[in-house]
Structure 1
Amino acid sequence: MRRRILRAVIAAVVCAVVLFCVPLAVATLRLYRQDEVRALQQLADRVAVTVPADVHHPRDPMELPRVGPGRQVGVYDDRARRVVGTGPEAGDRPVHDALAGRATSDRGDGRLVATVPVGSGERVRAAVRASAPADGPWRRALVTWAGLAALAVVAVGVAAVVGIRSSRRLAHPMEALAATAGRLEDGELSARAGVSGLPEADAVATALNRAAARIEELLRRERAFSADASHQLRTALTRVRLELESGLTEGDAAKQGPSTEAPTDPRGALRAALASLTAMETTIEDLLSLARDVPERAPLDIGALLADAERRWHGELAAAGRPLRVTVESPLPDAVGSARAGRQVLDVLLANALRHGAGTVTVTVRDAAGVPAVDVTDEGPGLPESVDVFARRHGYDGDTAGGGHGIGLALARSLVEAEGGRLRVSRRAPHPCFTWLVAGGRQTPAT
């Protein structure tokens, strides 16, 4: 690209120089010739003024002016014979034209000739002939052409310098864009093109940076979705496994011998497993829907959302000896958001209370200065002050298999903030409390 730009600049300047200098050179030569002829005519006119009435009178000799090297001036009588001065002895055609009453100029025998008649009307008594070498204008023109050539060389040199600098300035942004695109192709999604000062290249760089940021965000969301889906499905898979294993264990015990207890129907375990699989399918659909960029801004029925969460989590908490209490204050402010996101947020908070808390789990919905607020509290000892429970990491207690604090709460916070709400720890210890401020009719206050 640099070579092409340099060649284009130099070619344009050379064409401009040729189109300008060639006509100027021709015009200069013609001008110098005209100047030389005019000077000869003026010399002949000065001499004609001094020619006496009788050019042959011996008592009235003529004195001719001094002329420069190579120039000749002579006076011819009415018979075209040279009387005084220098020049051919017999008058040539310009002399005869002057004797006929016409002032002429001509070129012949390598000289420029100008003649003027002496006399007026029908009585021409003499003619003055002035001549100079014909190469005089050429020598002057050559000097001028040498100056034009020097200026042309300077112009081409300046054009070459400007072309080199311009080619660098134009090519560097394109090369930088190509390098950035290559880094992106190699997987370095953090690569960004810088500002070059060239509007066109900066426009391309801005578009490339937006595309790179978009791709990076899509990949980040894809990775986050994989981690979130893994976290959310792990509990459901564990529940299905336990229910199926429980059904198999009871079936094997029934085959080993009679029992005093009533036989357990294994179809109950299968039904529970199917319900868990249905919940897993719902979770996958929710996460796929929430992976999109545009949040859902629909009216949110918090009461129905809590009733569904109580139905799904009451049995599991009761099996662990953990009561679940749901309290809804009324009236509640209007809420907007996605029911899918709300369902996932409540699942994360209740699963966190089940794994890391103790005692009764209480869910309270209240009016927090015009904004619906959902508090999830348990009777556990609390959260360490030095741990950011919303950071994406393994559990702070080392429970990587169970997910622990971290990825689940990070998912919940990202879902809440995507819907315009806030999720925070309103009390760490004792009896930790997570507060979800739902987006309502006015902007949710920052915490």
Structure 2
Amino acid sequence: MLRSALIAAAVGVLLVGVPLLGLGAWTVTRQTESDLSRRAMVLQLLVAGSTAPLPELAGQVELLLGQGRNAGHLHARISSPDGVLDVGTAPTGQVIRRSVSQDDVMVAVDIERSVLNWEVAEFGLVILGLSLVAFGVATLSALWQARRLVEPLEVLADNADRLGRGESRLRPVSSGVAELDRVAEGLERSAASMTAALAAEREFASDASHQLRTPLTALSMRLEEIATSEEVDEVHEEARVALNQVERLTQVVDSLLARSRLQRRATVTSVNLGELLDQQVEEWTPAFRERRRRLVLHPLEKISVVATPGALSQVMATLVENSLQHGRGTVSITARRTGRSVVVEVTDEGEGVPPSLGSRIFERSVSSSGSTGLGLALARDLAEADGGRLELVRARPPVFAVFLSAVD
């Protein structure tokens, strides 16, 4: 910030100070030339209107040259039939001269150019002083603004570290800068969501360990009985009981998973679908532009859906990235409302999903291009956790559809 302020001040000085210095030099020269012409005319009138010999007018000429601007630096040469009169110190270097000739009287008034150069230099020193003041003001302003931003940024960095360590208590931030305050609010929301998620996970783990311990213990005892029994009928009976226990254990696991999804659904909220899709297009357009492809969002009415914003964004990002990596041509995103549901479709102009994969494309470790195959599986899990669905509705050209619940 300090560097930017100094660069801005330097550019301002160059754009204003240099032209102003040139204008000052031109003004000083013009004023000096005008003053020399005026004095030459006055001296010519003095000599022409006087009947005294030319040497007797030296005092009056010296008096006229010693008044006003540039006094003490002027030299005059008067030529008439009576002779030549020099008043002032004759210049030795370059001069600026103005002369008047009339009625056999010629008057020339001159001044050394170095005198004008000194005036221009003084004007330049004034500009330099003002420039230094401008640099000083810019520096102080930049330091003040930097201090105003650095303190909340340090707090935000500390809050981000705390969030990474799993802490939920964050330091308050009130910077007065709208952008920084929005970042702080986002971290606070993330901390609250993380706290709720951790609490739910701990509760789920506690309930799972409690509900699974007893049937697992019983199943282990049955298996021990089978391992030590020598009677076939007894082995069959123990195996039947063990299978029943496995079924009950499966029901317990299904119940726990259903409960976990219900807890996840409790965190969903109303999401503006248009804003979320616009954000996805804005984020992915540069990547498509680099590959000379297009990402198009077709116009849609104002629709709100029931979902978790972060999860739905991840689902859409996965579909768009898949089309970028494995598809071809233009990628289109459309959304429409059908009754109480909303369907968001992502399609491209590529070859689509091979027939050998079909619906298995959503299974983990299943991929048509050598990737990990986790993306679509995770996207489907996220969609289902929010009460939606992710389906492949057409293989060639590929059309992936996300089914969501609309907000009435």
TM-score (normalizing by structure 2): 0.52
Structure 2 Cα separation of the partners of residues 77 and 229 of structure 1: 124
- Tell which deviates more after alignment, 130-139 or 185-194: 185-194
Contact 1:114-1:129 within 8 A present in 2 as well:
yes
Q: Which of 44, 65, 76 is matched with 1:73 structurally?
A: 76
Q: Does residue 41 of structure 1 match 2:37?
A: yes
SS at match of 2:162: helix
Structure 2 Cα separation of the partners of residues 237 and 6 of structure 1: 66
Contact 1:52-1:60 within 8 A present in 2 as well:
no
Structure 2 Cα separation of the partners of residues 16 and 168 of structure 1: 24
Contact 1:192-1:212 within 8 A present in 2 as well:
no
Query: Runs of 5+ in structure 1 lacking a partner?
Result: 90-106, 119-123, 256-263, 297-447
Q: Does residue 111 of structure 1 match 2:91?
A: no
Q: Residues 2-401 of structure 1 correspond to what in structure 2 (within 5 A)?
A: 5-52=1-48, 64=61, 65-68=63-66, 69-77=72-80, 82=84, 84-86=85-87, 109-118=93-102, 124-191=103-170, 194-237=173-216, 271-292=240-261, 293-294=264-265
* 1:220 shift after superposition: 2.3
Contact 2:47-2:54 within 8 A present in 1 as well:
no
Question: Compared with structure 1, are the counterparts of its residues 58 and 162 closer, same or farther at alpha carbon in structure 2 (3 Å cutoff)?
Answer: closer
Structure 2 Cα separation of the partners of residues 287 and 154 of structure 1: 71
* 1:33 shift after superposition: 1.9
Question: Compared with structure 1, are the counterparts of its residues 172 and 78 closer, same or farther at alpha carbon in structure 2 (3 Å cutoff)?
Answer: farther
Q: Which has the higher helix share?
A: 2
* 1:276 shift after superposition: 3.3
- Tell which deviates more after alignment, 177-186 or 281-290: 177-186
* 1:61 shift after superposition: 7.0
Q: What is the letter of the counterpart of residue 284 of structure 1?
A: V
Question: Compared with structure 1, are the counterparts of its residues 219 and 116 closer, same or farther at alpha carbon in structure 2 (3 Å cutoff)?
Answer: same
Q: What is the letter of the counterpart of residue 244 of structure 2?
A: A
Structure 2 Cα separation of the partners of residues 283 and 192 of structure 1: 41
Q: Deviations over 1:399-422 (max 9, x none)?
A: xxxxxxxxxxxxxxxxxxxxxxxx
Which structure 1 residue ranges, 4+ long, deviate > 6 Å from structure 2? 241-249
* 1:44 shift after superposition: 1.3
Question: Compared with structure 1, are the counterparts of its residues 56 and 111 closer, same or farther at alpha carbon in structure 2 (3 Å cutoff)?
Answer: farther
SS at match of 1:194: coil
* 1:19 shift after superposition: 3.0
Contact 1:6-1:160 within 8 A present in 2 as well:
yes
Q: What is the letter of the counterpart of residue 115 of structure 2?
A: G
Structure 2 Cα separation of the partners of residues 245 and 34 of structure 1: 115
* 1:192 shift after superposition: 5.8
How many residues are treated as equivalent by the alignment? Answer: 258
Q: What is the letter of the counterpart of residue 66 of structure 1?
A: L
Q: Deviations over 1:80-118 (max 9, x none)?
A: x62x452799xxxxxxxxxxxxxxxxx983332111222
Q: What is the letter of the counterpart of residue 77 of structure 1?
A: S
Contact 1:233-1:280 within 8 A present in 2 as well:
yes
SS at match of 1:150: helix
Structure 2 Cα separation of the partners of residues 221 and 168 of structure 1: 40
Contact 2:48-2:105 within 8 A present in 1 as well:
no
Q: Deviations over 1:1-29 (max 9, x none)?
A: xxxx2122112212321332222222212
Contact 1:193-1:209 within 8 A present in 2 as well:
no
Contact 1:240-1:273 within 8 A present in 2 as well:
yes
Contact 1:110-1:133 within 8 A present in 2 as well:
yes
Q: What is the letter of the counterpart of residue 72 of structure 1?
A: H
* 1:225 shift after superposition: 0.8
Q: Deviations over 1:203-258 (max 9, x none)?
A: 33333333343333333222211101122234444665788899999x89xx9xxx
Query: Runs of 5+ in structure 2 lacking a partner?
Result: 67-71, 268-408
Contact 1:190-1:216 within 8 A present in 2 as well:
no
Contact 1:33-1:137 within 8 A present in 2 as well:
yes
TM-score (normalizing by structure 1): 0.48
* 1:43 shift after superposition: 1.0
* 1:38 shift after superposition: 0.9
Q: Which residue of 1 aligns with 2:337?
A: none
Structure 1 Cα separation of the partners of residues 244 and 166 of structure 2: 42
Q: What is the letter of the counterpart of residue 65 of structure 2?
A: V
Alignment RMSD? 4.1
Structure 2 Cα separation of the partners of residues 171 and 163 of structure 1: 12
Q: What is the letter of the counterpart of residue 109 of structure 1?
A: G
SS at match of 1:115: strand
Contact 1:192-1:209 within 8 A present in 2 as well:
no
SS at match of 1:109: coil
* 1:265 shift after superposition: 7.1
Q: What is the letter of the counterpart of residue 43 of structure 1?
A: R
Structure 1 Cα separation of the partners of residues 6 and 243 of structure 2: 79
Contact 1:177-1:193 within 8 A present in 2 as well:
no
Q: What is the letter of the counterpart of residue 80 of structure 2?
A: D
Q: Which residue of 2 aligns with 1:339?
A: none
Q: In percent, how many aligned pairs have the same letter?
A: 27
